[in-house]
Structure 1
Amino acid sequence: MKGQHMPLIKGDFDRINAILKAMVDKVQDNLGKVSPLMGLLDMYSKTHDELLVGFSIVAAREGAWLFAQELSYKTGDTYQECILNRDRRIAGLARRLASPSSYFMRLVLKTIRASEWRTPAANIQLLKIS
């Protein structure tokens, strides 16, 4: 889609943002079913975690919209290069989230992972039942 047509889909993009934010509670409930410590964190953090997740979704989606606008004006090799650069940045972010440099955060993640004893298949089955 060329840049001048981007405003035509902005309303749909914003509606998807609202749907994603509305799903936060259900996703957190499901996380609590498969990860006991995540469930405790959700229970004791009251609404603070929803605010943080909601903010994160908004920030990520705003970044996605800006990238879509930038990409809409690219063609050929510059289009492909733009996508590759974005993929590299997002992959780097994912690596830092999965393996943080902070010893404390690594310990927290290790503890959460240790509390998750079910197999992925068992977790899927659990989520299907509920």
Structure 2
Amino acid sequence: MPPSRHAEAAELESPLAGRPSRLRRLKRSSSIPCYRKPWLRINALLSRLVAVIEVELGEVSPRLKRLEAISPDGENAVFNFAMDAAREAAWLLAELLAPLPQEKWGPLIEAHDQVVADLGKLILHPGALAEGLIAWIREAESKDVAYNIQVTGG
């Protein structure tokens, strides 16, 4: 049985979590290797949440559950690759920003934001084949909003 999402989320407290003062110190540093270990720990915890979320989504989406049963490694490989790439891109951005004065962060963050926005558009509109598959999955999903929230929200 996968761990509780809430128990995992409680473990996410780290030196980086919700602390603007840490970010101010980070920007003054010429490198950020001391933050790499906590970053990797947070990401390992987030990765473990995927199994919990898959079980919860399977309860409200039987066809998604069926696809997961048919090819668990295929779906996991695609999802994990995308998440790993996103996390690594975020870390690389932090490494780029760390040695710079904060007033020079703007253009780099804007460029990064544009790349992320473009990727989001591809995810939102993946193309005819994927959209057909998504429509097929949605046809069998629970339309009971209260139930869906209960199952996926905790």
TM (normalized to structure 2)? 0.71
Q: Distance in 1 between matches of 2:130 and 2:43?
A: 29
Tell me what 1:121 maps to.
Answer: 146
- Unaligned segments of structure 2, at least 5 residues: 1-25
In the alignment of these two chains, the number of paired residues is 128
Q: Percent identity?
A: 29
Rounded Cα–Cα distance in structure 1 between residues aligned with 2:88 and 2:95? 11
2:41 and 2:102 mapped to 1: Cα distance?
Answer: 30
Q: Classify 1:20/1:71 alpha carbon distance in 2 versus 1 (closer, same or farther; 3 Å).
A: same
Note if 1:86 corresponds to 2:112.
yes
Does residue 1:105 correspond to 2:134, yes or no? no
Quick one: which of 64, 68, 75 aligns to 1:49? 75
Is it true that 1:21 corresponds to 2:71 in the alignment? Answer: no
TM superposition shift of 1:90? 0.8
Q: For residue 10 of structure 1, what is the aligned residue in structure 2?
A: 36
Distance 2:144 2:122 in 1: 25
- Greater helix share, 1 or 2? 1
Distance 1:72 1:126, change over 3 A: same
Paired AA for residue 126 in structure 1: V
* Inter-partner Cα distance in structure 2 for 1:121 and 1:74: 47
Aligned to 1:30: 56
- Residues 24 and 50 of structure 1 are in contact (CA less than 8 Å); yes or no, is this contact kept in structure 2? no
**Cα distance in 1 between the residues matched to 2:113 and 2:144:** 30
Question: Over aligned residues, Cα RMSD in angstroms?
Answer: 2.1
Unaligned runs of at least 5 residues, structure 1: none
